[in-house]
Amino acid sequence: MSDKRTTQVLQRFNQAFLSHDPTLLEELIAEECVVEAPNGERFTGHDACLEFWAKMAAGETKYEPEDLWVSGGRGVIRWRSRTGRSDEDTVRGVYLMRLRDGRIVEGLGYVKSA
């Protein structure tokens, strides 16, 4: 998979959270997708992964992608989310993503704790 295609998919993934539009995620998730949430919870299959990410995208938390690294069919999204106005209401994390045929097959989430 090319860096360009992986970048396009992950930018669209980010856009779903920035615009609070979970419908942008539907075509990005593979049937065999596996997601491990930052809290350790695991989701398997298109519908379960879509439901997990869609709830986050539709929520009121402000998502801010900070950086995106891509190499072939893999990518790293460094992000910050804010639930309020102060720095104490901020969480930082990364998603390690793996793609195949233009769809996300794995998303491993990690959060930086205080």
Give 28-51 pLDDT, tens digit per residue: 999 999 999 988 999 999 999 999
Query: Max CA-CA distance within the chain?
Result: 40
Q: Please state whether beta strands 29-36 and 103-112 pair in parallel, antiparallel, or not at all (unpaired).
A: parallel
- Say which CATH number the domain at 38 has: 3.10.450.50
SS3 of residue 46 by DSSP: helix
Predicted local confidence at residue 101, as pLDDT: 95
CA pair distance 3, 53, nearest whole angstrom: 23
Residue 104's nearest CA partner among 4, 10, 1, 22 is 10
CA pair distance 22, 26, nearest whole angstrom: 7
Average pLDDT (4-29) is 96
CA 34 remoteness from chain centre = 12
pLDDT confidence bin for 87, thresholds 50/70/90: low
Domain count, the chain: 1
CA 59 remoteness from chain centre = 14
Q: What is the mean pLDDT of the chain?
A: 92
Domain span at residue 41 reads 3-112
pLDDT confidence bin for 82, thresholds 50/70/90: confident
Unique residue bearing structure tokens 């419908």: 23
Predicted local confidence at residue 27, as pLDDT: 95
Predicted local confidence at residue 1, as pLDDT: 74
